[in-house]
Structure 1
Amino acid sequence: MEKYCATWSCTPYANKKLNAAYEDAQRVADGCPIFLFFFVVGSGQFCGMAEMTGTVDFHRDMDFGLRHKRSGSFPVKWHIIKDLANLNFFKLTILHNNDNRDIQRISWKRGLRMLNLFKRRTSSTTPLLDVFMQEEVYR
C-alpha cells in the first residue's frame, strides 16, 4: 500500500505527550519511529496505523468543526488505513496504568500483535470516512 502523508491533531494533553515521546525517541533512541494506532471516539473502530514524522507544532491548529477544534498538529505518514471494530483489539488495549483516555502507550509486543490483527482481518462494514462525511453533512 502506498504511504500517505497527512497532518493530525489530538487533545492538548495528548499532543504534549506525543511531542515528548517523539523528542525522546529522536534524542535517546537515535530516531526510533513512533507508531500510532488510531481509534476515533464514538466510531467503535480503529481506523489504521501511522508513523509520527515530526514534532507537534503548537501554533498550527486544526478545526474539524465547532466541537472538534484542536490546538496544535503534527505530521504523520499512514502505513495502514483499514477500519476494524474495536472488539478485535479488546484484550490488547486494556491497560491498567492508563492515566488518560486520549492516549495510551502500549508495549512493542502488543503493538506487533495489533499489526498482525490489522493484517489478518478485513475491514468493517461501515468505513470511518463515511461516518465523518455524514457528520459533515448534518452539521
Structure 2
Amino acid sequence: MPTTLNCENDLILESRSSLRQLAFQNVIYKTTRKHPSLSTISTTVSPASNTYTDKANQSTSPSAIFRSWSTIASSTSTSTHENGNTKDMVKQDNISSWISTRGFNPKTFNCKPPYARFFVIKSYTEDEVYKSIKYEIWTSTEVGNRRLDKAFRDNADKGPIYLFFSVNASGHFCGMAEMLTPVDYASSSSVLARNKGFGVFKVKWIFAKDIPNGQLRHIRIVNNENKPVTNSRDTQELYSEPGREMLKIFFDYRSKTSILDDSKFYDKRQAEMQRLIAQQRPASPEVVILNP
C-alpha cells in the first residue's frame, strides 16, 4: 500500500503542469510557459468595514505586494543564461527569495493553536488561487462568504481562522492562508473572476506548497458523512482534531513544487485577458475625435 501511494503522489506532481494546461484549453490561452514579460496590473480593494486592525496590519497592501512580486519576477525575466539548467536554478532562487520575503513555509509554526477554526477552500482554477497569493485577498460564494464571515466574527477574540486551499480535480492541496478581516460586502475585486458582488476579505498566506491528496486522504470529516478531507466542498469546516492534523502535515511535508513555479504563466494570461477586455470595451460617447 505505501508503494501505491508514493507512485500516485509522484504521478500527480509530475503531471501537474499538464493538468493546468488541460484545465484551461481554449483559443485565447493556447500558450506555452516561456518566460513571458510581466505587465503591471493594479488592483484596488476598499478597506474592509469593521476591520480587525491587529490582524489586518500583518498584511501589506495589494499594490505593495505586486511591487515586491514584480521586482523579483522581473529579475528572473532579465536573466539571459544560455544553459537551461542555469535558468532553472535562477528561477528557483528567485522564487525561494520571494517565498522567504513573504514568510511562506515558516520553519516554526504552532500546529496546535487553541480555539482556531479550520475551513477547506475549493477553487475552480489555479489562476484564482495564484491571484489570492499575489494580492492577499479572497472571496467565496454568497453562502460561503457568509459562513466564513460569521466564523471570523464569532472567533475574533479567541483564535485564528485557517483556510486550506485546493483546486478541483487537481489531486492536491496548494497552500494555507489565515483570514485577516471579516468580509467587506461593499467591496469587490476585478482580479478575482468568481467575485460576483458577494464581498471580499484579506488573507495572509502561510504555506505555499503542493501536498498530494494521498498525504491527506486518511483524515476523515465527521461532520461531512465521515468523508475524506480530500472530498470536501468549498468552505467545509473541519473540527479541531482533523484541522490540527492538516496543519501538521502542511508544516512537515517537504514539497518540491508549488503554484508559484508557474507565476509567469499566470501573469501573462492575466495580462492577455486584461488586454482583450480593454479592446472590447466600447469607446466613451463623450469622446469626439475631430479631424482624424
Q: Fold match, TM over 0.5?
A: yes
Aligned counterpart for 1:36 among listed residues 123, 144, 163: 163
TM-aligned CA distance change 1:78 to 1:136, over 3 Å:
same
Structure 1 runs (4+) deviating above 3 angstroms are none
Of residues 16-25 and 106-115 in structure 1, the stretch that sits farther from structure 2 once superposed is 106-115
Q: Give 1:128's aligned amino acid.
A: I
User: Do the aligned residues in 2 keep the contact of 1:62 with 1:69 (CA within 8 Å)?
Assistant: no
Q: Give 1:107's aligned amino acid.
A: Y
2:215 matched to which residue of 1? 88
Distance in 1, matches of 2:178 and 2:144, equals 15
Unaligned runs of 5+ in 2: 1-99, 105-132, 274-292
Distance in 2, matches of 1:91 and 1:64, equals 35
Distance in 1, matches of 2:187 and 2:146, equals 14
Q: CA deviation at 1:124?
A: 5.8
Distance in 2, matches of 1:35 and 1:17, equals 13
TM-aligned CA distance change 1:120 to 1:6, over 3 Å:
same
What is the CA deviation profile of residues 62-118 of structure 1, one whole-angstrom value per residue up to 9, with x for unaligned ones?
3457xx3313111111121111122321122543179x8211111121111111211
1:62 matched to which residue of 2? 189
Q: CA deviation at 1:47?
A: 1.4
Distance in 1, matches of 2:145 and 2:202, equals 12
Larger Rg: 2
1:102 matched to which residue of 2? 234
**Matched residue count:** 132
What is the CA deviation profile of residues 25-81 of structure 1, one whole-angstrom value per residue up to 9, with x for unaligned ones?
12xxx242111111122433211111111100112223457xx33131111111211
Q: Give 1:25's aligned amino acid.
A: N
How is 1:67-82 mapped onto 2 (pairs within 5 angstroms)?
Answer: 68-70=193-195, 71-82=198-209
Distance in 2, matches of 1:136 and 1:91, equals 36
TM-aligned CA distance change 1:85 to 1:64, over 3 Å:
farther
> Are 1:19 and 2:149 matched, yes or no?
yes
Aligned to 1:15, the other structure's residue is in SS state: helix
User: Do the aligned residues in 2 keep the contact of 1:84 with 1:124 (CA within 8 Å)?
Assistant: no
User: Do the aligned residues in 2 keep the contact of 1:85 with 1:124 (CA within 8 Å)?
Assistant: no
Aligned counterpart for 1:133 among listed residues 266, 278, 281: 266
User: Do the aligned residues in 1 keep the contact of 2:139 with 2:194 (CA within 8 Å)?
Assistant: no
Identity rate of aligned residues, in percent?
Answer: 35
Aligned to 2:170, the other structure's residue is in SS state: coil
Aligned counterpart for 2:244 among listed residues 112, 118, 121: 112
Q: Give 2:225's aligned amino acid.
A: H
Distance in 2, matches of 1:97 and 1:16, equals 24
Distance in 2, matches of 1:92 and 1:64, equals 33
TM-score by length of 1: 0.75
